Amino acid sequence: MMNIQLLNKIAAVGTDKLDRAVYNVGADLEAPDAIMVRSAAMHDMTFGENMLAIARCGAGVNNIPVDRCSEEGIVVFNTPGANANGVKELAIAALLLASRDIVGGIAWANTLAGTEGVAKAVEAGKSKFGGCELAGKTLGVIGLGAIGGMVANTATHLGMSVVGCDPYLTVEAAWSLRNSIKHANTYEDIYRESDYITLHVPATPQTKKMINAETIAMMKDGARLINLSRADLVDADAVKAALASGKLAAYVTDFPTEETVNVPGIVTIPHLGASTAESEDNCAVMAAVQLDDYLRNGNIKNSVNFPNVSMPRTPGTRICVMHENIPAILSKISGVMGDLHINIDNMINKSKGNNAYTMLDVNGEIPADAVAKLHTIEGVGRIRVIA
C-alpha cells in the first residue's frame, strides 16, 4: 500500500479515482509516498526518501519547492486547463468591473436603504458610476495558454479587437486561437496598443513585477489592467501611483494584498478564479489520474520539473531512471542492461532542461544488483522498479 497525503481538502470526485486497494488516502498519514495539494505552503516541509510525487490541484506551483523536488527526484504535477473555464469567466467579469464602477455603484445603492425616494435618488446619482463599453476597444492578452487563449477568444465575441503575446506559445494552443486575434512580437507592443491588458503568465523570477513604473509608462493613458494570475506580477506601488495620476483608469486583481485592498481604482476579488465547484472537481480528477498513472506505471504527464514521458505497459518489469540530461548516458544505461543480460523490450527517453527521464520495459529476472549498477553511472538519480 502507498500513502497519499492530502494537505488541503480535495474534491472527493478526484480522490475517488484512487483505488483504496492500492492507496491509503488521508490528511493525517505519516511518511507519504505522494501528496495532493491545493494552496498549502510546502517550502518548509521535509520529504522522506520514499516521497515520489506531488500533485498540485491547479496550475500555479509557487507554493511548492520545485527545485528541491527536482534534486530529490520528486515529480511535481499540475493541472493546466482544468480550471481554465472558471478563470476565463472571472476574467470576463473583471473586464466589466474595470470598465464600469459596478462595485462602487452597488455600495452606494446600499447606502440608500431606509430612505424615501430611492428610485429618484438612483436616477440623480448614477452618472458618477458610468464608464465605458468593451466593444470597439483593444484587449492585450499576455500569455495565451489554456486560460489566456480562452479569454482572447471570448473577448472577440464581445466586439473587442484582441492582440496577444506569448513567447512560449505551443502549436496546440495556437490552433485554438481565432484567426482574428493579432499576434504581438513583444510585451511592449501589448502595452502600447491596448486599452485593456490582462495577464495570464506564471509567477517566476522573470515575470516578478513585470508591470512596473517603466512598463506602465508605455501604456495608453487611461489603460485598464487585469491580473488574475499572481500578485507578484505587479508592482502595487507603481499601479497606485498610476491610478492617482490617471495614467491607469482601473486595476482588477484576484490577489488582494495589504497594498491593494480598499484603494480607489482597485477592485480586489478574493482569489475566486478557480474556486468554482466545477474547477475544483476538474483539478482534483486530473491530479489524481496523473498521480495514479505515475505511481503505478511510471508515466509522467503535466509535470513542471520532469518531461512528459508515457509508454503503454507490457508484461514484465518497468525500470524508471531519473538522470541528468548529459551526453552518452543512454548508452551507458543500455550498456548496464546488456552486461546483466537483461533484454530491453521497449525504451523511451525525454528531457526537460537538465532533468531527463528514461523508462525501460524488460523481460526476465532482474538481478538484485541491477539498481546498484545503474547508480554507478554519473548523472543517474532516483531509480524505480515497477513490477
Cβ proximity of 347 and 320 under 8 Å: no
Please confirm, yes or no, whether 157 is among the known catalytic residues.
no
Which residue, 179, 133, 184, 140, is CA-closest to 162?
A: 140
Question: What DSSP character marks residue 243?
Answer: H
Q: Which helix (H) or strand (E) holds 337?
A: helix 329-339
**Maximum distance among all Cα pairs of the chain, rounded to whole angstroms:** 93
Cβ proximity of 34 and 55 under 8 Å: yes
Residue 165, C-alpha cell as written in the block: 503575446
- Name 372's Cβ contacts closer than 8 Å, sequence gap at least 6: none
Residue whose C-alpha cell reads 498519514 in the numeric block: 29
Residue 120, C-alpha cell as written in the block: 429618484
Other Cβ atoms closer than 10 A to 124: 9
Q: How far apart are CA 177 and CA 243, in angstroms?
A: 32
Please confirm, yes or no, whether 341 is among the known catalytic residues.
no
The catalytic position among 72, 89, 193, 259 is 259
- Name 199's Cβ contacts closer than 8 Å, sequence gap at least 6: 142, 143, 210, 211, 225, 226, 227, 228, 229, 233, 234
Which residue, 321, 325, 320, 323, is CA-closest to 354?
A: 325
Residue 306, C-alpha cell as written in the block: 520532469
Residue 223, C-alpha cell as written in the block: 489603460
Please confirm, yes or no, whether 230 is among the known catalytic residues.
yes
Q: How far apart are CA 263 and CA 334, in angstroms?
A: 62
The dihedral sign for the CA sequence 171, 175, 280, 311 = negative
The catalytic position among 68, 100, 192, 271 is 271
Q: How far apart are CA 150 and CA 43, in angstroms?
A: 32
The catalytic position among 38, 56, 230, 318 is 230
Residue positions annotated with a catalytic role? 230, 259, 271
